[in-house]
């Protein structure tokens, strides 16, 4: 698979979580890549999966989520 | 006609092109001929206690038919008595009062030695001194040249001693044989240097003869490391000039040298902060007359740019040189192949496929013609294909809009925990 295709797959997962109202709340990086923690506020009592972790492998996706975090932080200011 | 005159740390010259301290400035005969040819200044071959030289001193590095891409030498400082040099410096300065004559000096790291030579030399009317803390061979084994120049404390002390006796500007010439040249440049400034110059030559062994197994050059079958210069060292020199120029603590003029062969090279050094340019290898390769092209080229360039004087050029690119952490990670360029120009040699495909990011496809059109195409989404913009391409205009690197800038430093700051949840 081309690295661009790998990026698109990872980007899709992130975008889907954002669409569901999640945002990135923590980033941990090590030799294996980046681990993103996504959280969202409970919408109703049936919501149980409040915290999700994604393992990001590609460099382009690491750039992508970094841009999202910066945009997220700009919105908060 | 632009004004090419320079005032470098108080040293005035009709143009910024100076011969570096080296074999071309060994004698009054040579320096006077150089001035007649158009050189604006000369740094006299290093004065010190007369040495003994070996026979077989230089070696050229040739590559792919291009002669002297690099040049190696094991010649030492002047081998003539000080008085002989001083007489010739006096005569030269008298004949060419408006040209810059700078004396390169090298003595043992002792205060009285520096005082003695500075006083003796300035009496004949030199415009400035250049302290040789860079020569990497021979003299370094005796504690001088780069042996002193690699120790910031010695650079500072010796600069201070020279300044104690000097009535004319003191330039400190630095060795590139050190990890961080700003450390010794800063030491020179601390010692009171009026300017710094760089780079001296780089430790080198030009080659080994694979038939005789002797070094190149060899002296009766034996070799010793020499100093490397010429076009091959230009990128190293340019970086060192730029690193010093962008360091606010090195707030003195810089005389740039190292592989300058054309006026274009000189412009690059000036844009990166050099206030004067020193040349050696190109003059040794082609003769003193190369300065005519340098002067004409610089003049035309300044006229074309609408810049009135050399001063308008110096340091203009320094702010564009930074640390990697300040570069924009979102900036994107991709390769594009112009198939009207491409000769289908496939060098780009091979380079990309074997050693880069595998994004150039070899395809066949409907009418059976082979062509190359970049998968732009997979291209990282490394430039390799355009570097190896033998045809001008066949591959362009094209800028792709890619959002707001984001540097590594900004990114690292942004992903620090905890990240606020909206």
Q: 3-state SS string over chain B?
A: CCECCEEECCEEECCCEEECCCHHHCCHHHHHHHHHHCCCEEEEEEECCCCCCCCCCEEEEEECCEEEEEEEECCCCCCCCHHHHHHHHHHHHHHCCCCEEEEEECCCCCHHHHHHHHHHHHCCCCCEEEEEECCCCCHHHHCCCHHHHCCHHHHHHHHHHHHHHCCCCEEEEECCCCCCHHHHHHHHHHCCCCEEEECCCEEECCEECCCCCCEECCECCECCCEEEECHHHHHHHHHHHHHHHCCCCCCCCEEEECCCCCHHHHHHHHHCCEEEEEECHHHHHHCCCHHHHHHHHHHHHHHHHCCCEHHHCCCCCHHHCCCHHHCECCCEEEEEECCCCCCCCCHHHHHHHHHCCCCEEEEECCCCCEEEEECCCCCCCCCHHHHHCCCCCCEEEEEECCCCCCEHHHHHHHCCCCCCCC
Query: Region B255-264: what's the mean pLDDT?
Result: 98
Q: Cis link prior to B337 (omega < 30° from 0)?
A: no
Which residues pair with residue A35 across a beta bridge?
A: A28, A55
pLDDT surpassing 70 at residue B179: yes
Using the Cβ of A30 and the Cβ atoms of chain B, whether some distance falls under 8 Å is answered with no
Are B37 and B288 within 8 A, CB to CB?
Answer: yes
The answer to whether the CB atoms of B378 and A27 lie below 8 A apart is no
Confidence of residue B272 (pLDDT cuts 50, 70, 90): very high
Name which of B418, B419, B422 is nearest A75 (Cβ-Cβ): B422
3-class DSSP state of A39: strand
pLDDT surpassing 90 at residue B50: no
Confidence of residue B375 (pLDDT cuts 50, 70, 90): very high
The residues, ordered by sequence, that sit 6+ positions from B110 with a Cβ below 8 Å of its Cβ are: none
The per-residue pLDDT for range B121-142, each reduced to its tens digit, is 999 999 999 999 988 888 888 8
Task: State the first-to-last Cα distance of chain B, in angstroms, to the nearest integer.
Answer: 62
The per-residue pLDDT for range B156-168, each reduced to its tens digit, is 999 999 999 999 9
Confidence of residue B417 (pLDDT cuts 50, 70, 90): low
* Annotation says B135 is catalytic: yes
pLDDT of residue A50: 78
pLDDT surpassing 60 at residue A26: yes
The answer to whether the CB atoms of A76 and B417 lie below 8 A apart is no
Confidence of residue B418 (pLDDT cuts 50, 70, 90): low
Percent residues over pLDDT 70 in chain B: 99
The answer to whether the CB atoms of A27 and B420 lie below 8 A apart is no
Query: Region B88-97: what's the mean pLDDT?
Result: 98
The answer to whether the CB atoms of A67 and B418 lie below 8 A apart is no
Using the Cβ of B404 and the Cβ atoms of chain A, whether some distance falls under 8 Å is answered with yes
ipTM exceeding cut-off 0.95 for this assembly: no
Percent residues over pLDDT 90 in chain B: 94
Task: Give A 39-58 residues with CB within 8 A of chain B.
Answer: 39, 41
Positive or negative torsion for Cα B29, B33, B34, B35: positive
pLDDT of residue A21: 93
Q: Give CA torsion, residues B1, B2, B8, B12, to 10 deg.
A: 30
Domains of chain B by start residue, with CATH: 6-319 (3.20.20.70), 324-409 (3.30.70.20)
Q: Where are the domains of chain A?
A: 3-41+50-76
Using the Cβ of A75 and the Cβ atoms of chain B, whether some distance falls under 8 Å is answered with yes
CA distance B380 to chain A (A): 10
Are B126 and B171 within 8 A, CB to CB?
Answer: no
């Amino acid at each position: 698979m081309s690295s661009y295709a790998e990026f698109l797959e990872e980007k899709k997962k992130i975008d889907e979580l954002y669409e569901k109202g999640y945002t990135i709340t923590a980033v941990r990086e090590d030799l294996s890549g980046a681990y993103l923690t996504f959280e969202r506020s409970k919408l109703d009592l049936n919501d149980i999966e409040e915290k999700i972790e994604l393992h990001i492998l590609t460099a382009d996706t690491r750039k992508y989520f970094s841009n999202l975090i910066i945009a997220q932080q700009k919105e908060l200011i | 006609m632009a004004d090419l005159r320079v005032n470098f740390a108080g040293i005035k010259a009709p143009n910024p092109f100076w011969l570096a301290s080296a074999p071309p400035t060994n004698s009054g005969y040579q320096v006077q001929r150089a001035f007649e040819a158009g050189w604006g200044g000369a740094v006299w071959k290093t004065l010190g206690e007369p040495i003994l030289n070996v026979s077989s001193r230089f070696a050229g590095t040739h590559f792919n038919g291009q002669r002297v891409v690099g040049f190696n030498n094991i010649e030492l400082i002047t081998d003539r008595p000080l008085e002989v040099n001083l007489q010739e410096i006096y005569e030269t300065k008298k004949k060419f009062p408006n040209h810059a004559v700078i004396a390169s000096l090298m003595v043992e790291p002792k205060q009285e030695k520096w005082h003695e030579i500075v006083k003796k030399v300035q009496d004949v009317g030199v415009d400035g001194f250049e302290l040789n803390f860079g020569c990497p061979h021979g003299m370094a084994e005796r504690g001088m040249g780069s042996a002193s120049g690699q120790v910031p404390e010695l650079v500072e002390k010796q600069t201070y001693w020279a300044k104690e006796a000097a009535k004319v500007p003191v330039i400190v010439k630095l060795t590139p044989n050190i990890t961080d040249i700003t450390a010794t440049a800063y030491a020179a400034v601390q010692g009171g240097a009026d300017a710094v110059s760089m780079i001296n030559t780089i430790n080198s062994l030009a080659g080994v003869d694979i038939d005789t197994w002797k070094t190149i050059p060899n002296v009766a079958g034996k070799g010793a490391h020499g100093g490397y210069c010429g076009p091959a060292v230009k990128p190293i020199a340019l970086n060192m000039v730029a690193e010093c120029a962008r360091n606010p603590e090195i707030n003195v003029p810089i005389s740039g040298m190292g592989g300058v062969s054309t006026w274009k090279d000189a412009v690059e050094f000036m844009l990166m902060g050099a206030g004067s340019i020193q040349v050696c290898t190109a003059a040794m390769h082609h003769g003193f007359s190369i300065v005519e092209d340098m002067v004409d080229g610089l003049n035309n360039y300044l006229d074309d740019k609408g810049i009135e004087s050399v001063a308008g050029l110096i340091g203009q690119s320094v702010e564009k040189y930074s640390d990697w952490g300040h570069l924009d990670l979102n900036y994107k360029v991709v390769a594009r192949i112009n198939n009207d120009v491409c000769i289908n040699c496939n060098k780009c495909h091979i380079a990309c496929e074997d050693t880069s990011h595998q994004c150039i496809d070899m395809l066949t059109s409907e009418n059976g013609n082979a062509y190359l195409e970049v998968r732009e989404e997979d291209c990282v913009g490394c430039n390799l294909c355009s570097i190896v391409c033998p045809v001008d205009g066949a591959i362009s690197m094209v800028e792709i809009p890619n959002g707001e800038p984001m540097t590594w430093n900004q990114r690292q700051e942004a992903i620090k925990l905890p990240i606020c949840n909206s």
